[in-house]
Amino acid sequence: MTRRGFLDEAFFATAIASLTAAGAFAAEPTPARPRRRYGAADKVRVAVIGVNGRGKAHIDGYLGLPDAEVVAICDVDSGVGEKAAAAIEKKTGKKPKVYQDLRKLFEDKEIDAVSCALPIHWHALAATWAMEAGKDVYVEKPCSHNVSEGRRIVQVQQRTGRICQVGTQSRSAKAVQQGIKFIHDGKIGKVSVARGLCYKPRNSIGIFPDSEVPAGVDYDIWLGAAPKRPFNKNRFHYNWHWNFDYGAGDLGNQGIHQMDIARWALGKNQLPSSVMTLGGRFGYVDQGTTPNTVVSVYDYADSQLVFEVRGLPTEKLKGADIGDIIYGESGYVVFTSSYGKAAAFTNDGQPLATFNGGGDHFAAFIRAVKSRQQSDLAAPVLEGHLSSALCHLGNNSYQLGRETSFSDAEREWSKSRNGTEAFGRMKEHLEKNGVALTNTKLKLGRLLEIDAAKEQFKDKAALPLLTREYRKGFTLPKA
């Protein structure tokens, strides 16, 4: 970050602190102002932005709803956009408009709402620009690329009164809702630890040279706010997830779902008092810059959130590999990757209760767009921001860390009982995958203390990681 960029963002951070002191963060959202009045039979006209991966699920989700229609799509890869439009035309008999530049799409007054399935470094820009243009927004998770972006989305939503939902779809699942209520009703006693798990094997992405931009791709728009650099296939379709300029690793990719459930279970509506992460990219050498193996500990004083990422093959923990385990005084609740099922157990593993039932996250969004009631949303943007911020904080600790031996890291990590237990299991996991720990370095993240009310690090050296420097033409609204 340049000195000027840092000073601009430091000014923003100071303004945020002033707003916090004035109670601005606690203000109720402005009632959503309608762009059009919806009758019972009216359809919400939706545009889907980014249709190569997750965007396909967005399209299918809206096409399955009687009160929504996909009237436009947008993708920087014109070939991908045309292919998606043709598929929609085949299903509905009507071809949607096709855009390559989302800024042009936002000018279209025939579009009521946009559904954003872009790379993570584009989420906040797309969401805020859309709301400024008078559109309601469904934005994929995590809703931001850094902590301050998430807060800025919340501010724009409150100022414009638009409907804005984040794609943490587990919040729409009845089983998850029932499990959380079971916990909040005290059925397993006081909760001390929430453990999020992202045990999701990921193969090496290999090493590829920089190359020419593929035909039909507007690479400058794809880069957006990110630093300008040559095209590389490992920094493009999907593999952008494993590069910090665009993604957040699996902590912020798959892990955001489990992070959200863990924070929800703890009932925490602000950031923790500290975070510390250790980990690395083990088992192969490739062009990924994000870790594939992580343990992060978030301290809330009266409880802890422990998060584990494993990118190599591993065994489940208490029946979960992508899920959560919430520990109380008299039992625990397990959420798995099947959001339609969850279960509670006594401390000795005897069944206490089961929870069943899925949900439709896209339907919840359309329902809120038509009703203009924020309460109809399953995942309001404030909830999305707080959970996304946890992912970024964990990555921030890792990014500021130092490389060291496993034995040295273990000595410093021993201050956290729950973290030590997770670290011990992580070492066993790596050894089973052939990683020789005595000859391998890991990154021991910095312990970052947090002013939760101001959403700032107390360590001034860490402040630049709360935001980023934005390329000209790809900036967010100031506070």
pLDDT tens digits along 275-315: 999 999 999 999 999 999 999 999 999 999 999 999 999 99
* CATH class of this structure's domain 173-358+389-466: alpha beta
Q: Which tens digits make up the pLDDT trace of 394-450? A: 999 999 999 999 999 998 887 667 889 999 999 999 999 999 999 999 999 999 999
296, 357 Cβ separation under 8 angstroms: no
CATH 3.30.360.10 placement within the chain: 173-358+389-466
What's the first-to-final CA gap in the chain, in angstroms?
20
Identify the burial level of 7 via C-beta atoms within 10 angstroms of its C-beta, where 0-12 means exposed, 13-18 middle and 19 or more buried.
Answer: exposed
Q: Which tens digits make up the pLDDT trace of 367-402? A: 999 999 999 999 999 999 999 999 999 999 999 999
3-171+362-380 folds as Rossmann fold (3.40.50)
Residue 425 CA to residue 407 CA, distance in Å, equals 14
Q: In the predicted model, what is the mean pLDDT of the chain?
A: 92
CA angle at residue 244 from 118 to 220, to 5 degrees?
50
CA angle at residue 303 from 301 to 307, to 5 degrees?
115
Q: Does 17 score more than 70 pLDDT?
A: no
- In this structure, the number of other CB atoms found within 10 A of the CB of residue 416 comes to 18
CATH 3.40.50.720 placement within the chain: 3-171+362-380
Task: Indicate whether this model's pTM tops 0.85.
Answer: yes
Among the ranges given (30-44, 190-204, 223-237, 243-257), the one the predictor scored with the smallest mean pLDDT: 30-44
Q: Which tens digits make up the pLDDT trace of 90-148? A: 999 999 999 999 999 999 999 999 999 999 999 999 999 999 999 999 999 999 999 99
